[in-house]
Amino acid sequence: MSNAPKKVAIVTGASRGIGAAITERLAGDGFAVVLNYAGSAAEAEALAGKIVQAGGRTITAQADVSDAAAVARIFDAAESAFGGVDVLVNNAGVMRLAAIADADDAAFDSQIAVNLKGTFNTLREAARRLRNGGRIVNLSSSQSGILSPTYGIYAATKAAVEALTHVLAKELRGRNITVNAVAPGPTATKLFLDGKSRELVDRLAKLAPLERLGQPEDIAAAVAFLAGPDGRWINGQVLRANGGII
């Protein structure tokens, strides 16, 4: 295809927050981007319209990442629209905080389904279908190191994401594909802000030596580095992007 873009990226959970910022950043960097979402169709279509307006190339792809067949369809859509896939950004995630003593089965099951099984589903598909020379970036969390009370299940899913990152980097030997994770600290999105008082948000914002919350664009910059030419020699690493909180 003569007008095929040079590189094609899939971003999961791209309808808002960090995933939306990553999508805009990669589109601005010249990637054709497949913008995945689960339920927020209006937000996803609005973001896609904004990217096209700015001269970028994108399509939306609805899929619950916890459903393996639906994940295969994201890759199908990318291949038929843009000819292949070079970059996977595994960003879709959910957070349900509760002390282990109080956590219900639904909190456990939903976080395992989206954060762990969802990441596994996309990694398996990418391992089979990414073009040589590609890049994979998984979203972990600095909570895999901070390990605060009430974050037990969430941190466990992100520790598992980091384990998958290290193993897949080794398994893709010979294909010139890097696999890394970015582990944000507190970042101003719905996932972080929902259910927290203003006082708590202010206190958490001051924990990092840089004394502010991360913005989605701060995380997108770290992902763009790993997905772009300057990240070529970084492989099997977890990059904590958190203002120095840990």
**Who contacts 105 (Cβ-Cβ below 8 Å, separation ≥6)?**
none
The nearest distance, CB 113 to ligand NDP, in angstroms, is 7
Residue recorded with tokens 């073009």? 131
User: b/e per residue, 105-139, with b = 16+ CB within 10 A?
Assistant: eebbeebbbbbbbbbbbbbebbbebbeeebbbbbb
Residue 152 makes contact with ligand NDP by CB under 6 A? no
Tell me whether residue 89 or residue 172 sits nearer to ligand NDP (CB atom). Answer: 89
Tell me whether residue 49 or residue 83 sits nearer to ligand NDP (CB atom). Answer: 49
Tell me whether residue 8 or residue 183 sits nearer to ligand NDP (CB atom). Answer: 183
DSSP codes of every residue in 24-59: HHHHHTT-EEEEEESS-HHHHHHHHHHHHHTT-EEE
Name the 3-class secondary structure at 202: helix
The nearest distance, CB 136 to ligand NDP, in angstroms, is 14
Binding mask 184-213 for ligand NDP (x = CB under 6 A): x-xx-xxxx---------------------
Tell me whether residue 131 or residue 191 sits nearer to ligand NDP (CB atom). Answer: 191
CA distance 66 to 129: 18
The nearest distance, CB 206 to ligand NDP, in angstroms, is 15
Whether residue 37 lies in the annotated active site: no
How many other CB atoms are there within 10 angstroms of residue 64's CB atom?
Answer: 16
Q: Which of residues 86-115 bind ligand NDP (CB under 6 A)?
A: 91-95, 114
37, 120, 151, 154: which one is catalytic? Answer: 154
Residue 60 makes contact with ligand NDP by CB under 6 A? no
Residue 244 makes contact with ligand NDP by CB under 6 A? no
Q: Residue 164 burial by CB count (10 A; 0-12/13-18/19+): exposed, middle or buried?
A: buried
Residue 37 makes contact with ligand NDP by CB under 6 A? yes
Site residues, ligand NDP (CB under 6 A): 12-19, 36-40, 64-66, 91-95, 114, 118, 139, 141, 184, 186-187, 189-192
Residues classed as catalytic: 154
